[in-house]
Amino acid sequence: MKSQPDDQPHSAKPVAEVREGDAYDLMAKLAPDSVDLIITSPPYWGLRTYGQDHNEDVLAEWEAQGGSKEQTPPYDWYRHNGGCLGLEPLPEWYVDHLVEIFQRGASALKAEGSIWINVGDTYFARWSSIRMNGRQGLGDNPRMRRKTPMGGFRQEKQLLLIPARFAIAMQSQRWILRNDLIWEKRNVPPRPEKDRLRLAHEHFYHFVKRPKEGRAKYYYDMKAVEEGARDVVSVNVRAGSDGHSATFPPQLIRPRIVSSCREGGLVLDPFCGTGRSLTVALDSGRQAIGFEMSPTFAAAARDNIAEIQGSFDI
Mapping DSSP onto H, E and C, the string for the chain reads: CCCCCCCCCCCCCCCEEEEECCHHHHHCCCCCCCEEEEEECCCCCCCECCCCCCCCCHHHHHHHCCCCCCCCCCHHHHHHCCCCCCCCCCHHHHHHHHHHHHHHCHHHEEEEEEEEEEECCCECCCEEEEECCCCCCCCCCCEEEEECCCECCECCCCECCHHHHHHHHHHCCCEEEEEEEEEECCCCCCCCCCCCCCCCEEEEEEEEECCCCCCCCCCCCHHHCCCCCCCEEECCCCCCCCCCCCCCCHHHHHHHHHHHCCCCCEEEECCCCCCHHHHHHHHCCCEEEEEECCHHHHHHHHHHHHHHHHHCCC
Determine the pLDDT at residue 140: 53
Task: Report the predicted TM-score, pTM, of the whole model to 2 decimal places.
Answer: 0.90
Model confidence pLDDT, tens digit, residues 192-225: 889 999 999 999 999 999 999 999 999 999 999 9
- The confidence score (pLDDT) of residue 133 equals 53
The whole-number pLDDT of residue 75 equals: 98
Looking at residue 52, its pLDDT comes to 78
pLDDT digit string, tens, across residues 274-290:
999 999 999 999 999 99
What is residue 259's predicted lDDT score, i.e. its pLDDT?
Answer: 98
Note the pLDDT of residue 246: 55
pLDDT of residue 195: 95
pLDDT for the residue numbered 142: 59
Write out residues in the chain with pLDDT < 70, as ranges. 1-12, 49, 131-143, 239-246, 313-314
